[in-house]
Structures are given as C-alpha cells and as structure tokens.
Amino acid sequence: MTLKKANRVLGKCFIGALLKPFLITGLVVMPAAGLLAQPPLGAPAMNACKGQQQGVRCSFESPHGKVYGSCHALPYKGQGICVPEDRNAAGRGDPSGLQQMKPGRFPGSREHRVLQSDGSPDLLKSSVKPPVKGYFDVSIEDDFRVLKANGIPSHETGRFPNTGNPNAIKP
C-alpha cells in the first residue's frame, strides 16, 4: 500500500484520522527496519549458481549478511540456486535432505509415462469395495522421482447423491 493510498483511505473515517499517524509511521518504519524482509531465495541466490554445476560451492549477499552454500537444482525453473549450508533444497533444517544428483546435471522438464489397460472397464456399485487392492509407490530412479499407482481407491467410493449434496444426476 502506498502512502498516498493509505492517506486517502484513512482520511475518510474518524478512527482513521486518529490512527493515521501511527499507521503511516508503521508503513515507513517496518520495511526500513527489515521487518518485512523476505528470505534469501531469489535473484542473488540464483545468480550465484548461474552457469555452475550441481554441488559447486557458492555465496551471495543477503539482507542479513553473506550466505555460503552450494548449488542445487531448482526443478521448476531448470536452473541452479545457492542453498545455504544449514538448509536443504526445500529450505528446511537438516541438509541431509538435499536432492542427490549426478554432478553437472540440472533436471530439465518432467517426464511422464502412462500405461493403461487395453481391456474394457469393470463397473461396480459405489457401495461395493473394489475387488483389487489400491497400489501406490514412490521411488527414486536416477534423477527422477517415480510414482506408480493403479488408480484404485483403498476404500468404498460412496453413493451419489451424498447426504447434503444439492446436486442431482442428470440423464
């Protein structure tokens, strides 16, 4: 919020006129004091690893001083970022959770493979338990997290219309 906008909004009410000096002071003092500072994830951390390989030592200046770390993959951007030594790639505590990759490789785009049955579907009543157990597995293969599932729920799916559901099935 800009000072001009705050002044315009607060000037329209009696309480706003009383609080205006305090609120405007807060809008000016808080950012200057660093109370609204963001964590050091951004351009400086990315620039520190631009063109660098995975695992290379890096450093950058943050609002709180010099940060030392190593370059790690930023999966949704396809580039590297300098992760502080005491943090993992998700920005949380123990660095043992860092993404393990082969040196010099940052992941590119995601890879999707879908295998579907070529048979006809078996239709079941919603109140019947599925005849086959649901399956879901997560594993790491090379640089990929692999999710395998058969898409079958491990519970009854319920009846329609559900209690309290205002919708109806239309023919």
How do residues 37-47 score in pLDDT, each as one tens digit?
A: 443 457 888 88
Domains identified in the chain, total number: 1
Q: What's the predicted TM-score (pTM) here?
A: 0.30
Distance CA 79, CA 72 (A): 8
> Is 13 inside a domain boundary?
yes
Distance CA 49, CA 145 (A): 23
pLDDT (mean) for 149-170: 70
pLDDT, position 45: 85
pLDDT (mean) for 66-92: 72
Q: Which two tokens stand for residue 136?
A: 């879901």
> Is 97 inside a domain boundary?
no
> Is 25 inside a domain boundary?
yes
List the beta bridge partners of residue 67: 60
Distance CA 119, CA 135 (A): 19
> Is 66 inside a domain boundary?
no
Extended strands (E) in the chain: 57-62, 65-74, 79-84, 136-141, 144-149
> Is 14 inside a domain boundary?
yes
Give the domain range for residue 27: 3-33
Collapse the DSSP code of 149 into the 3-class scheme (helix H, G, I; strand E, B; otherwise coil) and give the result. Answer: strand
pLDDT (mean) for 123-151: 79
> Is 132 inside a domain boundary?
no
> Across all residues in the chain, what is the average pLDDT?
66
At 58, the pLDDT band (50, 70, 90 cuts) reads very high
> Is 15 inside a domain boundary?
yes
> Is 27 inside a domain boundary?
yes
Extended strands (E) in 33-93: 57-62, 65-74, 79-84
